[in-house]
Amino acid sequence: MLMDISILLALQDFRNGIGSIFTGFLSRMSDIGEMEIVLMIIALIYWCVSKKYGTYLMMGWCVNRVVNGLLKVTVCAYRPWIRDARIVPDKDALAAATGYSFPSGHSMNGASLYGGVAIRKELPRILRVAAGIIFVLIAFSRNFLGVHTPQDILVGSVVGLLVMWLTLKLTERIEENPKMDISVMCVCIVIAVAVAIFAAFKSYPTDYDAAGKLLVDGAKMAKDTYKGVGWCIGFFAGWVLERRYVGFSTEISMSNRMTRLVTGLLSYFAVTLILKAILKEFIHGVDEKILITVIQTFYVTFVFPWFVKRREQGKEAVVLHKSVE
């Protein structure tokens, strides 16, 4: 604890001096570790680059979101500036630094995507090195900006990489035994739901600041945990349905890849924004949080692949018909 704070104070002094020239760069590195950014990048890999690697990355990321939520509401560690008033975090980083501190969610997001790429030995070395550097910079940025302790990012990084390694082994087993996908789905969804129930009913610290304001709202942290649970449920349900009833491929032409990229991004944001507005109007609390995130990953893994498979098959049928004529 004392060493953590000492390191943050040293980084703070550096940031406030000559280190300020690095603040903008590390803020951007922190941004690419945001949950929605990581989800969107993985979705594009899944749709346009490699279904195999996209599945592995999204499965690991969804599990990491559930694990991160579980650890945060279990440990209930306060942010560095709450523990020590000498810590003054970068003001722009505060927007994404809400709730409990341990472990770092950005570090686990970085481990899911960039760390997940780095541990795949069959990928090109330059890609793995670049991904590893980005992962380290995302984790370090959270210390540099003063929003997480070294302990937060170290545990988040190690746990995140461990989850990705286990996910790699699991996906290899599924390739050998395709029929085990339903069992995997059921187990993961049951565990995710159990985490949501735990977050909903556990007790949280009720410490107040000098102005009488609750330092961290446990109920709000529980809602953040529900997001990970929703993403996990949506992914596994969509993943199994796509495997069994769609079977889309990423072995496609460059023009089809670009079409998928553009239509995928536009449709994802349209669906997300519209549904969020509708659901927030009629549903509140736990149901809203879980349902929105379920829809997001279900759209990525099943709905959009179903759409592009039908569209591309239709185009092929038209071309074939014209060639016969």
Per-residue pLDDT of the chain (325 residues; tens, 9 = 90+): 667 889 999 999 888 887 778 898 999 999 999 999 999 999 999 999 999 999 999 999 999 999 999 999 999 999 999 988 899 998 888 877 778 999 999 999 999 999 999 999 999 999 999 999 999 999 999 999 999 999 999 999 999 999 999 999 999 999 999 999 999 999 999 999 999 999 999 999 988 887 888 888 888 888 889 999 999 999 999 999 999 999 999 999 898 899 999 999 999 988 888 877 777 766 665 566 788 899 999 999 999 999 998 887 765 544 443 443 4
In a domain, 245, yes or no: yes
* Long-range contact pairs involving 10-16 (C-beta distance under 8 Å, separation at least 24): 11/143, 11/144, 11/146, 12/87, 12/88, 12/146, 15/90, 15/144, 15/145, 15/146
In a domain, 5, yes or no: no
| C-alpha pair distances (Å), 142 with each of 102, 138, 267 | 12, 7, 32
Of 66, 68, 93, residue with least CA distance to 80: 93
In a domain, 19, yes or no: no
Report the number of distinct structural domains present in the chain. 1
Instruction: Calculate the CA dihedral of residues 235, 50, 303, 65 and round it to 10 degrees.
Output: 20
Residue range(s) defining the domain that contains residue 218? 24-206+214-311
In a domain, 13, yes or no: no
In a domain, 320, yes or no: no
In a domain, 317, yes or no: no
Residue 216 contacts residue 76 (beta carbons within 8 Å): yes
In a domain, 196, yes or no: yes
In a domain, 1, yes or no: no
